Amino acid sequence: MIRRGLQSVVVLVLAACVRAPPSAPVPPPEVPAVRVVGLPVVEEAPASAPDLEVLLSRMSLEDKVGQLMMVGFPGKAVDPAITELVRGYRVGGVCVFGRNIASALQIGRLNDEVRALLADSVPPFIAVDQEGGNVVRLSDGNLVLPGNMVLGASRQPELAYEAGLAQGEDLHRLGFNMNLAPVLDVNSNPQNPVIGIRSFGDDVGLVSEMGARFVQGQEAAHIVTVAKHFPGHGAVDADSHKSLPIVRAPLLQVREQLKPFEAAMEAGLDGLMTAHIATPTLTGDELPATLSSRVLGGVLRDELHFKGLVITDELEMDAIDRHYGVGRAAVLAVVAGADMVLIPWRLEKKEEVWAALLEAARTGELSAARLDEAVRRILTAKIARGLFEPLPPLETRLASLGEKRSLAGRIASAGVTLLRSKPGLFPLPTDRRVAVISTEASLIDSMGKRFPHMTSMLVPAIPALKTRDALKRQARALAEAADVVVVAVTNSRQLELVTNAALSGRPVITVVLGLPYLGAQAHEAKVVLATYSYREAATEAAAAAIAGEQGTPGRLPVALPSLPFGHGLDPVGRRLAAKPAAPAAVGAP
């Protein structure tokens, strides 16, 4: 589930459609009027967590239906419309996106205001999807992780634990109590358009180990942790906002993709987010996993014995909405085994879901037992992670925001990977005339601090067609005036800049700030360095490695066409390790 973050635009595409869908969406039932009445009362500032069964017994049918809904809203401060949405529907949770965030102080206030709306009732989940890397909503003084694939390249599970803990602590300070992360998909398909560097890698064991430790760290910070996207989105090659991703892999491979989720469950995972994908070898049909009782009931509950929370991905995606309508899809998902449905965008879709779930509960299509089971799981997670406990004042919480921001640099340094090298070019003497061509200003800044004779050129990540020829001429001229050219690559469009720079006759160092598969396509580069991230911590680590200030200890977390999983060169690290320690001073203890 991804929309615009503060500094990046990423699209997560997780949708679904079905075999033999109905010819038109099912019209939503008439929407009943929403009134703020009958809220189940919770004593103020309870000395201990409330009794779940007592709380459940006080809930009306409307209260229970509201708990199934995770909603979003526009705006950066609570207003009458938000109040009516949150209190009127007694929602179980809200999900915050970039449209809601201006600063740390502002989002902290908004989250506290939302929580206060239900102070006399069941506190809501306040969720965000702060994965790190290219899925970041918050970046105002808090820790911003370089991303999962960087952690995978580090091969350090304890770093994953530290990352989950530190990120969770900052989220908690800002008033969040749920994070829709980490991604536990195994990126087994290099052509996958939606996972890529959001994954820890393409090896089931690596993803399982790193993911489980991240989960444990984040939950230690009292954050309800929802991993995604069950039963595994790493093997697809389709955009599920537009079409149904169907996993055609053999059954054994599909079941292998479940193992990271199993490992996380064994580590105490709170919840899972479902994927809008079809897995016919697993289920025997092309029903989306989000709506499939064979996936959510048979596999997840009966085979894997998962007792935690299940939340759907956005039901407003066209592949779901166009074939079912979000209201009908919400009913099918909950009947199949989902406990909460995510409807973050349009108000009329929330109304449709509320009406459909309420009608299904009244008619018995959604049985009282299934409804109570879902609400129990929701309340269990809220009680276990301390949602009924009061928070310290916002000013107190913000005083320690970002106290572990240096962890991002440690992770980036541990993950930087040298894929190809040539003596004399790596590490690069700092007196060389270096031309840097990059989409990221932070790399130019970091290189400029180390190479006084540097020239640079900042290029757009996706240049307009009419400007490309001029950019190539500019880059060529810059390269010809240098001794060495450093070209940063975030997507395949920048590969032509590598070719263009090489035509100048100057040696080229390519820094891959995105998918490591791009490194295998930079054929003209003499040196290829992978950071798996364009975040500032990653570009700083790249510049430090090029200048020989640090080693390149990372190992490929995926296999490339010409390089195996686990490949990585570290000439500087080996030299530093072999360097004899300085003798202790006389009289030193």
Catalytic residue annotation = 241, 313
Q: Render 12-67 in DSSP notation, one character per residue.
A: -------SS--SSPPPPPPPPPP----PPP--SS-SSPPPHHHHHHT--HHHHHHH
In this structure, are residues 219 and 225 in contact, taking their beta carbons and an 8 Å threshold?
Answer: yes
CB atoms within 10 A of CB 211: 31
Q: Which of 317, 368, 401 is nearest to 141 (CA)?
A: 401
Rounded Cα distance between 92 and 186, Å, is 30
Give the containing element (helix H, strand E) for 143: none
Backbone angles phi, psi at 140, to 5 degrees: -125, 80
Q: How many beta carbons lie within 10 A of that of residue 455, not counting itself?
A: 17
Whether the bond between 231 and the residue before it is cis, its omega within 30 degrees of 0, is: yes
Q: Which two tokens stand for residue 23?
A: 């010819």
CA-wise closest residue to 238 among 183, 293, 288, 295 = 288
Pairing of strands 527-530, 69-71: unpaired
* Angle between helix 104-117 and helix 80-88 axes, rounded to 10 deg: 50
**Alpha-carbon gap, residue 331 to 325, rounded angstroms:** 10
Helices (H), 131-234: 148-154, 157-173, 204-220
Closest CA to 514 of 530, 502, 526: 530
Phi-psi region of 215 (alpha: psi -120 to 50; beta: other; left: phi over 0): alpha
CA pair distance 484, 371, nearest whole angstrom: 65
Euclidean distance between CA atoms 530 and 538, whole angstroms? 9
Q: For 159, list phi and psi in degrees, rounded to 5.
A: -65, -35
Give kind and range of the element (H or E) at residue 71: strand 69-71
H helical segments located in 174-324: 204-220, 251-256, 259-266, 280-283, 293, 318-324
**Interstrand relation of 508-512 and 484-489 (parallel, antiparallel or unpaired):** parallel
Residue 138: Cβ within 10 Å count: 24
**Distances 93 to 32, 59, 77, 342 between C-alpha atoms, Å:** 21, 16, 16, 9
Q: Which of 218, 333, 522 is nearest to 530 (CA)?
A: 522
How far is Cα 312 from Cα 229, in angstroms, rounded to an integer? 9
